[in-house]
């Protein structure tokens, strides 16, 4: 089996998309060995538990700094013998050492068509607010490898989503998740699980 660790910080809709595709057989050769949250009490942990997946809270604030936190995460994922680490709405920047240790084994889904509306500070609603402010007609999502530059790793997949008249950031965010993120994240995992 291709073993996946998932890092989350919130509701876990992208986690759910992966779980659904494992359960429907699309990712039949994959299993999520653990879900780790950087925040306590997030719904993503409940989603994991509901599906019998190990759910662990490792709050960032419990560690002295990013390096100490990254060492703890690395130890966890090494113990789990993961083949891939998926950042699914994970809002903590990982250390360079962590990224090197799991080089080409960490992917992220970002809610825009990189290189637009990405980089430091572009998370949550911000990419959608900026896309609307700029007036783009097409936005979307990108799955990419994680490297030392925020949203700077090699692109694996992208999917476009049309901006519609009257979109608010919240409405656009929901459409990008449904029409792009939840589709291309499992697709990228499938590609990597076969390589």
Q: Helix, strand, coil proportions of the chain in percent (round to 5)?
A: 40, 20, 40
Catalytic residue from among 76, 110, 128, 182:
110
CB 44 within 8 A of CB 8: yes
- For residue 154, give the 3-state DSSP assignment: coil
Residue 128 among the catalytic residues = no
How many residues are there in the chain? Answer: 195
Burial of 164 (0-12, 13-18, 19+ CB in 10 A): exposed
* H helix or E strand, kind and range, residue 120: none
Q: Is the dihedral of CA 20, 24, 29, 33 positive or negative?
A: positive
Query: Which residues are registered as beta bridge partners of 145?
Result: 107
Which positions are catalytic?
110
């Amino acid at each position: 089996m291709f073993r996946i660790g998932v890092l989350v910080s919130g509701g876990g809709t992208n986690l759910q998309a992966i779980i659904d595709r494992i359960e429907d057989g699309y990712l039949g050769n994959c299993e999520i060995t653990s879900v780790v949250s950087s925040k306590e009490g997030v719904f993503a942990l409940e989603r994991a538990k509901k599906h019998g997946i190990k759910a662990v809270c490792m709050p960032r604030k419990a560690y002295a700094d990013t390096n100490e936190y990254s060492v703890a995460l690395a130890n966890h994922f090494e113990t789990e013998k993961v083949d891939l680490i998926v950042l699914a709405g994970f809002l903590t920047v990982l250390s360079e050492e962590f990224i090197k240790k799991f080089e080409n084994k960490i992917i992220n889904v970002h809610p825009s068509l990189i290189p637009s509306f990405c980089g430091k500070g572009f998370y949550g609603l911000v990419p959608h607010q900026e896309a609307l402010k700029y007036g783009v007609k097409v936005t979307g999502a990108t799955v990419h490898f994680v490297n030392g530059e925020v949203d700077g790793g090699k692109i694996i997949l992208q999917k476009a989503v049309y901006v519609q008249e009257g979109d608010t950031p919240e409405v656009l965010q929901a459409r990008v998740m449904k029409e792009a993120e939840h589709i291309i994240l499992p697709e990228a995992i499938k590609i990597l699980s076969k390589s």
